[in-house]
């Protein structure tokens, strides 16, 4: 499913299992781009809402995945073992399995346990809001965004290509191809730890004797710093605990750094190093290669033996995949720092 594959007769049917914020947004986007997509959800009310939105909806997992060429697991992490087992029982052996979860190592463990390990390619769209549920979903949420796609050394190159074609084709996105470990460490730093810190900022105000005054005075910095704390707490808790191996040490560094700031403030010592430690990032800007930006220097990586490992090497250094042809992947290197 290359860049022009939307609506193509030989493009695989995509089954989206789970119609929350991300699954619903993906199903809406694919349908809008003419992709043959069918979806389902455990909630009858959600299935009805999706039908009213014009999506093709099956009543259960078996009906959703029966003729799929690509199955997208978009269920909560706690439901993954049961859903993966259901997919294994009903999806064709030829179907590639991916997901949209924010943690990759634990998901790979679950799909392997269900017998889907040789068909699985991990995926995580780097987008979201503080809202949840199908009613909050919209096609624009995942249009042209950055994705992480994760592989292990035994990945089937054809299945990786199927996922890359979906993301760079009808989703119009760019992709960092990584190992599960690199993804989960990076996601801890830029997503999971921020969720914890935002929650603590909100907790601090919620428990303060001047809470109402503080909330009445709050402006942009508080709004931006606590936005993700308004996410469903159960969803945030599941995400953080599933990635505990990387979140815990990152939080320990945050705590150590804050303790040093506290000590400096209490002793009238310098806080200069703390406030200037990220100057290099400030000077570069974020992100160094914006998702959706017109590529300026495209490298062609041949799809010869070992090409998944070649993409992992380049993307771990910061490059992103912007397109896939039958013979090469188009890669944009990291902008110079």
What are the CA-CA distances from residue 207 to residues 195, 203, 259 (Å)? 18, 6, 21
* pLDDT for 286: 66
- Domain 14-180 is classified in which CATH homologous superfamily? NAD(P)-binding Rossmann-like Domain (3.40.50.720)
What are the CA-CA distances from residue 298 to residues 164, 169, 330 (Å)? 16, 17, 6
Cis peptide bond N-terminal to 159, omega within 30: no
Architecture of domain 185-284: Orthogonal Bundle (1.10)
* 185-284 and 14-180 share a CATH fold: no
* pLDDT for 293: 55
Residues of the chain with pLDDT under 70: 1-10, 286-296, 335-337
Q: Which of 136, 122, 127, 146 is nearest to 20 (CA)?
A: 136
Q: Which of 303, 301, 6 is nearest to 158 (CA)?
A: 303
* pLDDT for 107: 95
- pTM of the predicted structure, to 2 decimals: 0.90
Q: How many other CB atoms sit within 10 Å of the CB of residue 219?
A: 7
Q: What is the torsion angle, in degrees rounded to the nearest 10, for the CA atoms of residue 276, residue 280, residue 285 and residue 289? A: -150
d(CA 30, CA 237): 29
* pLDDT for 18: 98
* pLDDT for 9: 54
| Sequence-distant (≥ 6) Cβ neighbours of residue 171 within 8 angstroms | 26, 29, 30, 33, 125, 142, 143, 144, 145, 147
* Secondary structure tally for the chain: helices H, strands E: 15, 11
**What is the side-by-side order of every strand in the sheet holding 320-324?**
122-125, 146-151, 174-179, 320-324, 328-332, 299-302
Parse the chain into domains and list their residue ranges: 14-180, 185-284
* pLDDT for 220: 95
* pLDDT for 336: 46
């Amino acid at each position: 499913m290359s860049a022009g594959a939307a609506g193509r007769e030989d493009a695989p049917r995509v089954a989206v299992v789970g119609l929350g914020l991300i699954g619903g947004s993906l199903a809406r986007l694919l349908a809008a781009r003419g992709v043959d997509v069918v979806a389902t959800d455990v909630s009858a009310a959600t299935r009805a809402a999706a039908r009213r939105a014009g999506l093709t909806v099956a009543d259960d997992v078996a009906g959703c995945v029966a003729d799929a060429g690509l199955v997208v697991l978009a269920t909560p992490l706690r439901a993954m073992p049961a859903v993966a087992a259901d997919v294994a029982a009903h999806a064709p052996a030829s179907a590639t399995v991916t997901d949209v979860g924010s943690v990759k190592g634990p998901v790979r463990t679950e799909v392997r346990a269900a017998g889907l390990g040789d068909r699985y390619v991990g995926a995580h769209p780097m987008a979201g809001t503080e809202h949840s549920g199908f009613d909050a979903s919209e096609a624009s949420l995942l249009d042209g965004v950055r994705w992480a796609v994760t592989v292990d050394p035994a990945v089937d190159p054809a299945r990786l290509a199927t996922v890359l074609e979906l993301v760079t084709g009808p989703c119009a996105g760019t992709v960092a191809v990584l190992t599960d470990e690199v993804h989960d460490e990076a996601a801890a730093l830029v997503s999971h730890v921020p969720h914890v810190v935002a929650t603590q900022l909100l907790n601090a105000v919620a428990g303060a004797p001047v809470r109402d005054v503080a909330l009445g005075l709050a402006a942009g910095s508080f709004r931006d710093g606590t936005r993700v704390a308004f996410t469903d707490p159960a969803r945030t808790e599941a995400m953080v605990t599933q990635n505990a191996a990387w979140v815990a040490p990152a939080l320990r560094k945050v705590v150590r750094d804050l303790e040093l700031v506290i000590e400096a403030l209490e002793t009238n010592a310098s806080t200069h190093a703390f406030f200037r430690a990220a100057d290099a990032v400030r000077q570069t800007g974020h992100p160094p290669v914006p998702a959706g930006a017109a590529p300026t220097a495209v490298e062609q990586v041949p799809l010869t033996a070992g090409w998944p490992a070649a993409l992992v090497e380049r993307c771990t250094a910061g490059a992103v995949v912007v397109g896939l042809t039958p013979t090469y992947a188009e890669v944009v290197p990291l902008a110079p720092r």
